[in-house]
Amino acid sequence: MALHLIKLAVGVSDLAHLKTLQAARRKQRGMAPRAPHWVYTRNTPKRSTDLLDGGSLYWIIKGVMRCRQQLVGFEEAVDDEGRKYCRIKVKRTIVPTAPVAFKAFQGWRYMEDERAPPDLSRGDTADMPADMAAELKRLGLL
């Protein structure tokens, strides 16, 4: 059974904005447009084997879990000031998920597979405003 990570997308307004930011960061780092994306964090997950067995990184945007990216790998590194950090490698494809309201936290959290929201198919609520989708979810209509 897969294990997943949850992370806040701070300063991101919607899925399109997340895609734009990630593309800009890949370009800034001189990576190919189709290259996988790297997410930087301070701590390396201890359960990396479980995470790489089909796990994804789920993004929380404006208090709502909205999408995921499949986990590909982890690398530990040290910055110019000698501080350790972790690079989380994810596939470039952003998969919209059913919206789930989520409280803010720092860093990242593990999430068991049975708690993961289902993926949305094209034409579902992916383009719906996050607050509307969250309210419909709260009312049990999504």
Chain segment 3-26, per-residue pLDDT in tens = 999 999 989 988 889 998 888 888
Distances (CA, A) of 107 to 29, 32, 71, 126, 129: 23, 27, 16, 25, 25
The alpha-carbon radius of gyration of the chain (Å, integer) is 15
By C-alpha distance, which of 136, 131, 140 is closest to 13?
A: 131
Domain encompassing residue 98: 3-138
Provide the token pair at 136. 């419909």
Overall number of domains in the chain:
1
**Under 8 Å between Cβ of 6 and 122:** no
96 band by pLDDT with thresholds 50, 70 and 90? very high
Would the pTM of this model clear 0.75, i.e. be above it?
A: yes
Phi, psi dihedrals of residue 51, rounded to the nearest 5° = -65, -35
Amino acid 29 reads R
Mean pLDDT on 103-127: 82
Mean pLDDT within 49-53: 92
Give mean pLDDT, residues 63-73: 93
